[in-house]
Amino acid sequence: MAVHMDKAAVREMIARRAEREIESGFYVNLGIGMPTMVANYIQADKQVVLQSENGLLGIGKFPEEAEVDPDLINAGKETVTAALGSSYCSSAESFAMIRGGHLDLAILGGMEVSERGDLANWMIPGKMIKGMGGAMDIVHGAKKIVIIMDHVNKHGEPKILKECRLPLTGKQIVNRIITDRAVMDVTDEGLVLVEVMNGWTIEEIKDSTEADLKVDPALYEQAR
């Protein structure tokens, strides 16, 4: 039986789980929206550098009201803080870091992910957008791509599909998906369920996933 949580609690849970993907020494890009929350949960003993494609290397936690600097923003135009030792650069230099393969990890949001690791996260046809942003560069430049998202949309329809229906950001680039219900890995053998979030069952997750979903045998052992 699923545990019902309010939206804020669900987002915090996903962000906290995503933080576990970050290792000390990593250079990390956090996408706009829910991924930016991950910065608030990075453990103090981890030496991590957060990069924003608009030209800030060394993002700190979200500012308290007294700390807000309207001139200091991330790529999503959210106000941020600069960590000790941070540096500023041009967008061209920032994208050179991304395209040069210097990011260890990118944690991004997703609208849809296919069972092969295709990602759609940059537009919905017919809706006004300001531009494609940097996601297309990031998904091909970072060494590992983790997508955090709701498992289903507001209509209760699966967002993890056999084939993405929305315009693609990148093909076969997702390594791991973290949702409010599960953690799944994209492998050469297909999509594999590796963790079940508290309150959900394996069958409930399979029923709410359109993509073919294999189950890590260790999960069946844990369920006994």
Closest CA to 33 of 139, 142, 127, 149: 149
Catalytic residues: 53
Q: 184 is written with which tokens?
A: 């799944």
Tell me which DSSP letter residue 197 carries.
-
CA dist 213 to 103, 152, 161, 189, 190, Å? Answer: 29, 15, 10, 10, 7
Q: What share of the chain is helix, strand, coil (3-state, %, to 5)?
A: 25, 25, 50
pLDDT of residue 222: 73
Average pLDDT, the chain: 93
Q: Measured between alpha carbons, how far is 107 from 17 in angstroms, rounded to an integer?
A: 11
Q: Where are the domains of the chain?
A: 7-223
Q: Hunting for tokens 């290397």 — which residue is that?
A: 57
More confident call, 163 vs 222: 163
Q: What is the pTM of this model?
A: 0.94
Q: Measured between alpha carbons, how far is 49 from 30 in angstroms, rounded to an integer?
A: 11
Helix (H), strand (E) at residue 92: helix 91-99
pLDDT tens per residue across span 144-162: 999 999 999 999 999 999 9
Fold of 7-223: Glutaconate Coenzyme A-transferase (3.40.1080)
51-65, 94-108, 147-161, 178-192: least confidently modelled range: 51-65
Closest CA to 145 of 117, 105, 180, 181: 105
pLDDT tens per residue across span 166-199: 999 999 999 999 999 999 999 999 999 999 999 9
pLDDT of residue 125: 84
